[in-house]
Structures are given as structure tokens and as C-alpha cells.
Amino acid sequence: MATKTVKFEIKRQASPDAPATWENFELEWRPGMNVISAMMEIAANPVTADGRATTPITYDSNCLEEICGSCAMLINGKARMACSALVENLEQPIKIAPLSKFPLVRDLQVDRSVLFENLMRVKAWVPVDGTYDLGSGPRVFPQQQEANYPLSNCISCTCCMEVCPQFNDETNFVGAATIAQVKLFNNHPTGKVFAEERLRALAGDGGIQECGFAQNCVEACPKQIPLTNAISDIGRDVLVQKAKDFLRG
């Protein structure tokens, strides 16, 4: 009986300035096999489908259970998590490429630090005064907890930014993930102390006015975060804040 195999085409690039090439690999199929497990096997034994030894592939991964967000890549042209992409559900040969909207490091590894720069820009955190005991935290009603929980599920995978037509070097758009975090922390009893500063940051260059509401982000999000709702709500809040600032003179 012939062994069932899985074929992969992986985009390789030794450095940002090196030419890009495609290499073919073929692995024995296993039940429950996902893309990231295949990447691990190829990296451990880097031999192409025609038997040629090559360099181990470079990629990011960590938790292997769609929590850390690090293994996002283009799988058959779609931005998704490699750990949750089951091989049996994918058309072969499975084409693997790095995310295209971020600076390449090597092979499938990209530099997504722009997301964290944007999060710092909007102060996406709950301010805490000191490291001493601050006592009980603020009370949050269950209804508010239910509204905030989906927003807290963001894993910083940047799939929403990859598929967004407005996220590019010309617009400097911060992207849906950052806007959703603004809504999350503006809803927090302590986090809202920075609410006005966050809204002003989104009113500037690359802010919420750059969103074309293509809705690609909500389709690509692996955690089903209501990104378009967050964008609509924060867009309203930004306009209100701009009006307040104008009236204050």
C-alpha cells in the first residue's frame, strides 16, 4: 500500500535583500497533522522533495494552540495561523509564504514590531501607580465584562493588518487590532484615564480616518473579534473628542 504524502511549496529568502525562491517538500501524512508540525519536521530534516539538502526553514511559533499569535503566515494565499491550519483541509500542494505587509527577516519570519509601536502610541494598557498593594480593583458589572471579553482575545497575530487594503506605507494606518484595544481599555474603569489621549492619537496621521471599512479584518481574525463594531464605536468617539477639543479652543 502506497504511503500517503503531503506536498508543500515554501517561499525561501535568506535575508531581506536576497532573491526569493520556492522549494518543494514532501512529508508522510499523519492524522491531525497541521502546518506548523510540518514546518517543524521540515526544519529538523531540511531535504527537498527531489532529495536535495537545504538550509532549515525559519519561522515563528510558540504556543501551538492559537494563543500566542506568532505563527501567522500566508497559507495557500490566506493569512491564518499555521497551528490551527489542518493539512487535511488544505488544497495541495500547500503553498506557504511569509506575511507580505511586514519587513522580512528570513524565510517565513517577519518583523511585526509596528503593531506594538502602534499599541504604545495609543497607550494600550491599564495604568498602575507603583508596585505596592493597591487594594481591590474596580468593580466591573457582568454586562460590561461580556462586552469587553471578545476584545481581550486579541493575540497580536496581525492577520487583520495583513488583509487590510488601508494598512500600507503610504497611509501608516494603525490597523484594526490597535483600534479594538483602544475600545477595550477605554471601557476599563481604570484604563479610561487615558481615554482622551488614545482618541487624540487615533485622530492624527494614520488614525481611524484611514479605515475604508473593507471588513477584511473581521473575516480574517482567528479569534472572531468584533473588529468592525469596535472601529465604528471608536470612530464616533474620536469625532466627539475632536468636537470637545475644538470647543475648548
**What whole-number distance in Å separates Cα of residue 81 and Cα of residue 170?**
27
Give pLDDT, residue 130: 73
Question: pLDDT digits over 210-243, tens only?
Answer: 999 999 999 999 999 999 999 999 999 999 999 9
Query: Using one digit for the tens of pLDDT, what is the confidence trace for 69-83?
Result: 999 999 999 999 999
Cβ-Cβ contacts under 8 Å for 229 (sequence gap 6 or more):
none
Q: In whole angstroms, what is the distance from residue 156 CA to residue 72 CA?
A: 10
pLDDT for 2 equals: 61
Beta-carbon contacts of residue 8 (< 8 Å; ≥ 6 apart): 24, 25, 26, 27, 38, 42, 93, 94, 95, 96
Q: What is the enclosing helix (H) or strand (E) of 95?
A: strand 94-97
Q: Which residues of the chain have pLDDT under 50?
A: 1
pTM above 0.75, yes or no: yes
Residues 6+ apart with CB under 8 A from 198: 122, 123, 124, 182, 185, 186
Residue 175 amino acid letter? G
